Amino acid sequence: MSHHQRSLPQLAAGDLDQDQALDAIHTADRVLIGAGAGLSAAAGYDYTDRERFHELFPALSAAGFSARYQLIGYPLPPRHMWGYWATHVNDIRLGDGPNALYQALRSAVGDREHFVMSSNVDALFTRNGFASESVYTPQGDYALYQCLEPCTRIVWDARGIIAHVLENYDPLTGQTSEDAVPSCPNCGGEVFLNVFAGSWYINDHFQPQLDSLNDWLTDTRDSGESLAIVEIGSGFNTPSVIRWPVEHIATVIPRATLIRVNRDHPGVPEPLTGRAASLGGDAGDIINRLITAVERPSA
C-alpha cells in the first residue's frame, strides 16, 4: 500500500441503486469497511471546522490560521508545535465518549465476519466496539509516539507526554513550556506522533493486523462467501491507502460488491459495473439511511 503515483482510472457511476446497496449490505456473509477522512468528518471530527479551531486555538487563529488541515506539516517552533498537537490529539483521539455514527456501523455489521481498513489515526473504530485485531490502520495512531531518527523501532504510549504538554500549555500564547517539549526516551532526540508523515515513520506494530487482513481476504475468496465492501469518505489525497486497494479487492473476489459513499468522488472503475454502487452526498446521512434497516434475518 505504498503511496506511488498511477494514472487515475476511468470512473463511472455504479449501476446499483441505494436499495440494492442496502440489500448487498443486508445479505452479505462478510463485511469489509474501508474508511477515509470523510467518515470521521461526518462523525463530527472535521479538520475544516473553523468554529472548533477558533475555540481550541485562539493564538493560531489570531495568527491567521483557520482550520486544522492548515497545520498538517506546517513548521511551527517546538513549543508551539507541541502545544498545537497535544491540544488536537486530546480533542480528537483521547476522549472516551461514544460516537453514534461509528456505533451504528458496528451494529450494522452485527456478528458477521468483518474487517476494517482505515486511513484515520483517531482510533474511532476500536473506541466504538470494533476489535483491535480486526482493524488495520496503516497511517498510524495519534496515541503513540516515536523517535524521529529513528534510533529504535519501539513506539511509546503518547498519553503521558500529551498530558505533560497540556499541563504547561497556555492557549493565549499557543505555547507549552520548554521542559514539556518531549524527547526520545532512548536517545534524547526529537520525537513526533506515530503517524505517516515521512520516511522515519515506524509501522512494524501494524503488521499483525495487515497479515490478518490478508489471511481474512484470502479465506473470503476461497470460501466463496459474499462480501460487502463499504468504503466511506476516501478520496484522492492518499488513494493508495484505502480507495485503490478496496477497488482491487472488489475486482479479485468474485462475490464482492463495492458500496462507495463519497461526497465529492463517488465514481467507481468501469470494470466493477454490475456490482458497485456510487452514493454521493453527506456521508452521515447516507450511512444512517443505509444501516437503519440492516439487521441479519433470524435463522
pLDDT per residue as tens digits for the range 148-162? 999 999 999 999 999
Q: Cα separations (Å) of 79 from 27, 75, 123, 279?
A: 53, 11, 26, 43
What percent of the residues of the chain are helix, what percent strand, and what percent coil, each to the nearest 5?
40, 15, 45
**76 domain-assigned:** yes
| Confidence band for 2, pLDDT divided at 50, 70 and 90 | very low
**pLDDT recorded at residue 236:** 92
Are 113 and 160 contained in the same domain?
no
Residue 17: partners with Cβ closer than 8 Å, 6 or more residues away? 277
Are 214 and 162 contained in the same domain?
no
**280 domain-assigned:** yes
Q: What is the largest CA-CA distance in the chain?
A: 63
The overall average pLDDT reported for the chain is 92
**pLDDT recorded at residue 299:** 44
Share of the chain above pLDDT 70, in %: 93
Half-sphere exposure in the Cβ direction for 93 (13 Å, CA) = 23
- Cα dihedral 186, 190, 195, 200, rounded to 10, equals -80
Domain that holds residue 104: 11-42+99-138+204-291
Cell numbers describing residue 217? 481476504
Name the nearest CA neighbour of 18 among 234, 259, 228, 275: 259
* CATH code: domain of residue 264: 3.40.50.1220
| Confidence band for 282, pLDDT divided at 50, 70 and 90 | confident
Are 26 and 149 contained in the same domain?
no
Q: What is the mean pLDDT of residues 6-11?
A: 48
Per DSSP bridges, beta strands 11-12 and 140-147 are unpaired
| pLDDT exceeds cutoff 90 at 14 | no
**pLDDT recorded at residue 286:** 85
Long-range contacts from 78-81, C-beta under 8 angstroms, 24+ separation? 78/181, 79/175, 79/176, 79/177, 79/178, 79/181, 80/174, 80/175
**pLDDT recorded at residue 242:** 97
Are 115 and 179 contained in the same domain?
no
| pLDDT exceeds cutoff 50 at 38 | yes
| pLDDT exceeds cutoff 90 at 4 | no
**What single-letter DSSP state applies at residue 259?**
E
**pLDDT recorded at residue 13:** 63
Instruction: Work out how many domains the chain is built from and give that number.
Output: 2
Are 246 and 104 contained in the same domain?
yes
Are 74 and 152 contained in the same domain?
yes
Three-state SS at 241: coil
Are 208 and 72 contained in the same domain?
no
Dist. CA 89–CA 80, nearest whole Å: 14
Q: What is the mean pLDDT of residues 200-208?
A: 97
| Confidence band for 294, pLDDT divided at 50, 70 and 90 | low
What are the residue ranges of helices labelled H in the chain? 18-27, 37-42, 50-56, 58-62, 78-92, 100-109, 159-167, 207-223, 243-252, 283-291
Are 124 and 149 contained in the same domain?
no
Are 19 and 34 contained in the same domain?
yes
